[in-house]
Amino acid sequence: MLTEPEVSLIGITRPLEGGTIEQHLERAARECYQSHKLMSPEDSPRFIRGIILRGHESVLEHTSATFRVLGGSRAFTHEQVRHRLLSFSQQSQRYVSETNYRAILPPAVADNPEALAVFQELLEHTREAYAKLKELGLRNEDARFVLPNAVESGIVISGNLREWRHVFRVRCTEAAQWEIRRICGMMLKLVREHAPVVFGDFVLDEETWVARHLAETVECDEAKKLVKRELEKLAQAGEPPNRILRCLADDDVYRALFHVKLCLCRSCRETLADCGDWK
């Protein structure tokens, strides 16, 4: 029985001419306005943060990431494949014999001696049943009908970074099922090492594998105060309020702007309106 999955990032889109993933995405985005001459390596993080903050995430589709997951159950893969914009290559139970299958052990079962005994008894019976059906001449595709959801199912998953952001938003929450939350949390940790700005607004707890949004790490009063301070600086310099997006290299400004954008309280919405048109 398995208690820990093995998650690997086995591929990710990179610019052939060198540079970071964020620079690759910026180069694609600037095609829209033919503004490539404005690119600079130091400015890419601010540029990508602006794209994410404004919700222009179609740009993120120009980079894809591929993961291989071992030690995940069929229950996990049945949930994962519901994300239809991802691509999957999964271990076949028709062409691969499951005579010696590995099973994923849920923590709740492992922590309960009586439940563990029931679980182990079931695994033993299904192994025997599968082997007996094979002895009777049945093919894998028919013998597999006795297999439980606990059976390990290796899978390779690819998707663009926009879709992965969606996956992490819905699967790395307290409400998500524990196994898919853990595996997606591991994916987020791995891909963030290669695209730290793209996934920089996810705050991941590696014990629970729950990812909060950056906006949740600041209170309304603090966020509004910081945004208003930056707006005052712009006004004094004779700059329009939407130039606040040029301050996104500052982690605190990024966090504060995300908060006032996502918060539903009246004062935060008013503060967001003061920031002008971001289009």
Burial of 179 (0-12, 13-18, 19+ CB in 10 A): buried
Spell out the domain ranges in the chain: 6-87+153-213, 92-146, 220-274
Mean pLDDT score, 5-23: 95
| The token pair that represents 233 in the structure block | 């600086």
Position 124 confidence tier, pLDDT thresholds 50, 70, 90: very high
Class of the domain covering 6-87+153-213: alpha beta
What is the per-residue pLDDT for 73? 98
pLDDT digits (tens, 9 = 90+) for 155-200: 999 999 999 999 999 999 999 999 999 999 999 999 999 999 999 9
Cβ atoms of 72 and 151 closer than 8 Å = no
Which alpha helices (DSSP H) does the chain contain, by range? 21-29, 44-54, 74-80, 107-110, 113-135, 140-143, 161-171, 178-194, 220-236, 251-262, 266-274
Position 275 confidence tier, pLDDT thresholds 50, 70, 90: very high
Percent of the chain exceeding pLDDT 90 equals: 96
Q: What is the DSSP letter of 150?
A: T
Q: Which residues contact 186 (CB under 8 A, 6 or more apart)?
A: 5, 7, 209
pLDDT at 269 over 80: yes
How far, in Å, CA of 80 to CA of 69, rounded? 11
Active site residues: 171
